[in-house]
Amino acid sequence: MKFSYLRSFTVLAMTCFLALPGPVAAQQGGGTVPQLPEPLQRLLTDGAQVRYLGTINGLDGWVTIQGGQEQYFYVTPDRKNFVMGLLFGEDGRMLTLDQVQALRKKEGDVLDLLTDDQLTRPRLDESTKKQKEFEVKSPSEQLYMDMEESNWVPLGDPSAPFIYTVVDPQCPHCHAFLKDLEKDYIKSGRLQVRLVPIGLRDETRAQAAFLLAAPNPEDVWFRHLNGDQTALPAKTEINQQGVQHNISVIENWRLDVTPFTIYRNKDGKIKVIRGRAEDIEAIMTDLGAKSE
């Protein structure tokens, strides 16, 4: 890790240099936007929101938003490297801030809604990572691994036993199931639900994408469930690649119902529930969860 001084400005914060592919330009929104660097393309595929900030002194700037956290990247003029961090002028002015403010004027409240705090979202825990070291021995294990690698948001205590549940934001059966879980299981700390959002229509795909990018998905989801029509907006400008990945998992396995739940029980066996579960306490016992 090092700092790089480029003519009249200094790149600060976390800084790293990675190889980039050759320059390719694409038209977007009436202007010329450079090809997205491959490392940022991977973030885009994982559901991050990526916006082009423009060029300063030959550096193409990008902002990514994931889990409510912003990161800033600048591609060097020769496109052989990129820098992660903030850009300052020789007078100490934060040039990155100027670019972000200009972007917010252009895109309205989308950036503000997705970056209103600095909460982070956990991904695979250590036990999950260890499971991936073993050879998959059955279709159920493969399905479980696909759910692990899907784009999900956590509801509840991260230390609690967890299940993966596929939902559509407007599915009434999904709403009913999550309401069953809300008070006595999720908010009480007994259970974590790793929500895998999909969308069966354009509107719900946009809502699912917003949920993936939101910094406080649990609050957003339950406000949506409890009738707040502003909690989960269907913003068409939101990147939907993370949702499309989830949909591809569902389509590959020919899953035809939501909610769809999968979990590993206390004995290590994979269990699947199609639709709204009838006996949640039986699931909790199967997970080895603590009693009320």
pLDDT, tens digit, for every residue of 142-171?
Answer: 899 999 999 999 999 999 999 999 999 999
Cβ atoms of 181 and 195 within 8 Å: the answer is no
Find the radius of gyration of the CA atoms of the chain.
Answer: 21
Residues in the chain: 292
Q: Which helix (H) or strand (E) holds 118?
A: none
Contacts 24+ apart (CB under 8 A), 224-230: 224/169, 225/175, 225/178, 225/179, 225/182
**Looking at residue 40, what is its pLDDT?**
78
For residue 204, being part of any structural domain is answered with yes
Domain co-membership, 150 together with 73 = no
pLDDT at 79 over 80: no
Smallest CA-to-CA distance from 73 within 65, 210, 200 is with: 65
Residue 9 and residue 84 share a domain: yes
Give a yes or no: residue 280 inside a domain: yes
Domain-terminating residue out of 59, 90, 114: 114
Phi, psi of 181 (to 5 degrees): -90, -20
CA–CA separation, 195 vs 217, rounded Å? Answer: 10
> Can you give the residue range of the structural domain that contains 144?
126-287
Q: Could you tell me if residue 27 is inside a domain?
A: yes
> Do both 215 and 250 map to the same domain?
yes
Domain co-membership, 85 together with 204: no
| pLDDT bucket at 200, cuts 50 / 70 / 90 | confident
**86-115 pLDDT, tens digit each:** 888 777 778 887 887 787 777 666 666 665
Decide if 222 is inside a domain.
Answer: yes
152 and 53 assigned to the same domain: no
The verdict on 141 and 282 lying in the same domain is yes
Last residue of a domain, one of 114, 141, 171: 114
**3-class SS of residue 92:** coil
Q: Are residues 100 and 176 in the same domain?
A: no
Q: For residues 8 and 88, give the distance between their C-alpha atoms in angstroms, rounded to a whole number.
A: 9
In a domain, 236, yes or no: yes
Clarify whether residues 110 and 142 are in a common domain. no
Q: Which of 164, 152, 4, 21 is nearest to 79 (CA)?
A: 21
Pairing mode, if any, of strands 9-12 and 25-28? unpaired
3-state DSSP call for residue 196? strand
Of residues 171 and 141, the one with the higher pLDDT is 171
Q: Does residue 119 lie in a domain region? A: no
**Judgement on whether residues 267 and 180 belong to the same structural domain of the protein:** yes
Q: Please report the pLDDT score of residue 164 as a whole number.
A: 98
φ and ψ of 155, to 5 deg:
-120, 120
The pLDDT of residue 292 is 63
The tally of domains found in the chain comes to: 2
| Same domain (yes/no): 131, 271 | yes
pTM higher than the cut 0.85: no
How do strand 162-167 and strand 260-264 relate by DSSP bridges?
Answer: antiparallel
Q: How confident is the model at residue 126 (pLDDT cuts 50, 70, 90)?
A: very low
Both 132 and 69 in one domain: the answer is no
The verdict on residue 159 lying in a domain is yes
Q: What is the mean pLDDT of the chain?
A: 78
Dihedral (CA of 223, 227, 229, 235) sign: positive
**pLDDT tier, 30 (very low <50, low <70, confident <90, very high otherwise):** very low
Q: 149-158, 165-174, 258-267, 282-291: lowest mean pLDDT where?
A: 282-291
pLDDT tier for residue 24 given thresholds of 50, 70 and 90: very low
**Residue 121 belongs to some domain of the structure:** no
User: Each residue of 10-22: pLDDT tens digit?
Assistant: 333 333 333 333 3
CATH number at residue 147: 3.40.30.10
In the chain, where does DSSP find H-type helix?
38-45, 95-107, 110-114, 126-131, 139-148, 172-181, 202-213, 217-225, 241-252, 280-287
Among 71, 93, 114, give the residue marking a domain's end.
114
User: DSSP letter at 159?
Assistant: T
Amino acid in the structure at residue 83: V
pLDDT of the residue at 203: 93
CA 183 to chain centre: 25
Residues 55 and 162 in one domain: no
